[in-house]
Amino acid sequence: MNAVLLSPPLTEETLKALFTKPYGVPGPTADQWRAVYDNAVHFQDPTQERSGIDAYIAAQDDLMGRCDDIFLEPGAVALSGETAFVEWTMGLKIKGIEFIYPGTTRLRIAANGMIVEHRDYFDFVGPTFEPVPVVGGFVRWLYRRFVS
């Protein structure tokens, strides 16, 4: 997360800051998450679903703990009323292999400006297994069978 102070109300600039983490830079602290996420936040991505700020922070810490390094880079941001969408690219380095995931997050923002819902949309299977020898070939074959 870069040097922009994160606090409600969220803007395009603060949302981009929230979704920025270069390789080699520590991830957000629990206090930084708590500054913009509601205590009752609901989080969902293709691999998990969690409720509450402590569970959300644990999910983020678990991801960072499983990886050698992580980057997150924002793309387009759309903010309308209580809903925001952020396009992003996430890179995970694990045991010398880099996995790249393009995705989008939908955020629902409460009247107090805090994030109460965070849902990530991205293809988990393709980018995870395509770089793996043998398995990657099977995944590419399987995708071609459904996408032709």
DSSP letters for 39-94:
EEEEEEETTEEEESHHHHHHHHHHHHHHSSEEEEEEEEEEEETTEEEEEEEEEEEE
What is the DSSP-derived secondary structure letter of residue 5?
Answer: P
pLDDT at 119: 98
Q: For residues 65 and 60, give the distance between their C-alpha atoms in angstroms, rounded to a whole number.
A: 9
Average pLDDT over residues 35-55: 97
pLDDT in tens, 75-129: 999 999 999 999 999 999 999 889 999 999 999 999 999 999 999 999 887 777 7
Domain ranges of the chain: 12-123
Instruction: Spell out the CATH class of 12-123.
Output: alpha beta
Q: For residues 25 and 7, give the distance between their C-alpha atoms in angstroms, rounded to a whole number.
A: 21
